[in-house]
Amino acid sequence: MPGNAAVPLACGFAELWALPEPKEDNVATRSNLTPLQEAEARRLAAQESKANKVQREHSEEEKALRKDRVVKAKDALARSVGLKGDHVAAGRQALKTYLQRLNEPKQPDEAAFEALIEAPFKAPPKKKTNDRRF
């Protein structure tokens, strides 16, 4: 069967479409490599990607904004050490995650960052219930 064309199979009133079996290539697949060869392939791929990486330049304004945000996040972490409550642990974890991911291109906007800073200090609003049992 030439190519990857679908082959119709007649089955009563309905036609089923089946793809032909893929051809075996002479390319070594992951399952055919020894652990040493896999490690070497990963090392070479990492080396190649590192060589092709484009360095991004940050403007002075962006650097100042990043430094200011880091100072604010670390300050919020330091101030929230002794606080108690379920919201404190979640807020502190969000701050730690933010500090770990500073180099990622997608950063929160100013409003989201302010909410992140205030999260350990603001208790979430209590849920209203319609339970009228007194």
pLDDT tens digits for range 8-67: 545 444 444 455 555 555 454 556 889 999 999 999 998 888 888 777 777 898 889 889
In the chain, the number of structural domains is 1
Cβ distance 112 to 95 under 8 Å?
no
- Does the pLDDT value for residue 83 go beyond 50? yes
Residue 69 covered by a domain: no
User: Does some domain include residue 17?
Assistant: no
CA distances from 121 to 43, 48, 70, 89 (A): 45, 46, 18, 11
User: What does DSSP assign to residue 119?
Assistant: T
119 part of a folded domain: yes
Beta strands in 13-129 (DSSP E): 14-18
In a domain, 47, yes or no: no
Return the amino acid letter for 63: K
User: Which pLDDT score is estimated for 15?
Assistant: 47
Tell whether 105 is covered by a domain: yes
Residue 112 lies in a domain: yes
pLDDT, tens digit, for every residue of 94-127?
889 989 988 888 888 889 889 888 888 887 777 7
Are 87 and 126 a contacting pair, CB within 8 Å? Answer: no
Is there a domain that residue 54 lies in? Answer: no
Q: Which domain holds residue 113?
A: 84-123
94 domain residue, yes or no: yes
